[in-house]
């Protein structure tokens, strides 16, 4: 069995060599010729899986080690009896942790208290619901919009999207869809961005095309938006003018924790094992996190959280690395964007860490519990 795997998928050789010959290929170089003799194709979001890619090939199983599947023509796969699986939920905690690190980096630079802010969450699935839980623990006023969930549950907590536009923060956690009643392509267009109040913090970790980047670039200064973008239209050829204007801009790495990547591989491995009727013998073993106790003498939520983010995940470094494109004349933006993703440093999730405090404040403990950080007494 020949298995083509995106070279950036964690533990690819270790996991999939059980089933046959594994060939690692750059995701943007996977084409029809590459997969012509393959039986299995395992990709990430940068590879468009369509008739053009798969026609006249032997591929009978496609997996994507990502939570999104807008890059997959599932109708074509179904019509051609090709089994498909995605990795829903694999890196949800990593995205939540990115959201928090980026938000608190921005708030600390402006000396704002998170308790004084309201948040509008667009898309309340696996990630959005986790954001809601953390925001509630932080004492924020939350507003939710999710039309499919509204129709399914008839729960009045789900509001029309326009009802969210007076919130201090708007965060997006939707899939990318191009048609239908729940179309999310350019969900935030000129009309909706104009309706938001001046100074809104806009955070997008879903898909770049959910926000009209051209319009956002036109309005960001006029509306005094404070923008955090991990995803962009036309990746990897992103809008450099917009990159210069955002507070934090990163190369689609919000979910790039080691745990998130490994979970994605494991989900696809299990599905391929089922497809091949094979025993599931591969279990990932992650390195222990050493020096994982963070000492704190503060009972201030903001100070403790910023201390955590500085120690565990400095999102500003990721932003600085992307913005270095402006001082690196030898690279084009697409090359720079992809190299940052390929060579992304190891990042571990918060549940590997402990906070050591002299006094266990119940509010602080509740918040730390919401982000999966354990407390210990000094």
Annotated active-site residue 173? The verdict is no
As given in the structure block, the two tokens for residue 334 are 């697409």
Active site residue 235: yes
d(Cα 302, Cα 68) in Å, to the nearest integer? 32
Residue from 97, 235, 259, 349 carrying the catalytic annotation: 235
Q: Which of 44, 71, 173, 252 is catalytic?
A: 252
Using DSSP bridges, classify how beta strands 21-25 and 293-296 pair: parallel, antiparallel or unpaired.
unpaired
Q: For the residues of 297-342, what is the DSSP string, one character each?
A: ----HHHHHHHHHHHH--HHHHHHHHHGGGG-TTS-HHHHHHHHHH
For residue 83, what are its two tokens?
């089994």
Annotation marks residue 252 as catalytic: yes
Q: Are 46 and 235 in contact (CB under 8 A)?
A: yes
Distances from the Cα of 296 to the Cα of 147, 202, 312, angstroms: 42, 31, 14
Neighbours of 104 (CB within 10 A): 21
Residues 251/322, Cβ–Cβ less than 8 Å = yes
Q: Collapse the DSSP code of 346 into the 3-class scheme (helix H, G, I; strand E, B; otherwise coil) and give the result.
A: coil
Sign of CA dihedral 108, 109, 112, 118: negative
Q: Which of 71, 207, 347, 348 is catalytic?
A: 207
Q: Which residues are catalytic?
A: 207, 235, 252
């Amino acid at each position: 069995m020949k298995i083509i795997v995106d070279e950036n998928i964690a533990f690819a050789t270790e996991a999939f060599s059980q089933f046959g010959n594994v060939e690692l290929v750059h995701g943007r170089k996977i084409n029809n010729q590459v997969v012509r003799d393959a039986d299995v194709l395992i990709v990430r979001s940068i590879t468009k899986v369509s008739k053009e890619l798969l026609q006249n090939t032997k591929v009978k199983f496609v997996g994507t080690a990502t939570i999104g599947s807008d890059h997959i023509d599932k109708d074509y796969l179904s019509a051609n009896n090709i089994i498909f699986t995605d990795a829903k939920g694999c890196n949800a905690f990593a995205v939540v942790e990115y959201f928090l690190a980026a938000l608190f980096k921005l708030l600390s630079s402006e000396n704002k208290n998170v308790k004084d802010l309201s948040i509008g969450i667009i898309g309340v699935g696996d990630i959005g619901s986790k954001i809601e839980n953390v925001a509630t623990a932080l004492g924020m006023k939350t507003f939710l919009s999710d039309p499919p969930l509204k129709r399914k549950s008839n729960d009045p907590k789900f509001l029309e999207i326009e009802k969210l536009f007076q919130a201090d923060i708007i965060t997006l956690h939707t899939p990318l869809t191009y048609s239908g009643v729940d179309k999310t392509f350019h969900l935030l267009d000129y009309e909706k961005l104009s309706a938001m109040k001046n100074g809104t913090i806009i955070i997008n970790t879903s898909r770049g095309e959910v926000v009209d980047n051209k319009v956002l670039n036109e309005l960001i200064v006029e509306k005094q938006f404070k923008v955090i973008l991990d995803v962009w239209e036309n990746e990897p050829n992103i809008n450099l003018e917009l990159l210069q204007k955002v507070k934090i801009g990163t190369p689609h790495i919000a979910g790039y924790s080691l745990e998130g990547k490994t979970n994605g591989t494991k989900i696809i491995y299990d599905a391929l094992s089922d497809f091949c009727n094979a025993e599931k013998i591969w279990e990932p073993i992650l390195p222990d996190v050493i020096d994982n106790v963070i000492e704190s003498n503060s009972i201030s939520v903001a100070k403790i959280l910023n201390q955590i983010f500085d120690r565990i995940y400095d999102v500003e470094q990721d932003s600085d690395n992307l913005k270095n494109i402006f001082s690196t004349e030898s690279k084009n933006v697409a090359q720079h964007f992809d190299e940052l993703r390929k060579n992304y440093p190891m990042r571990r999730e918060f549940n590997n860490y402990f906070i050591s405090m002299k006094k266990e404040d119940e509010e602080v403990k509740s918040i730390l519990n919401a982000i999966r950080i354990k407390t210990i007494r000094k």
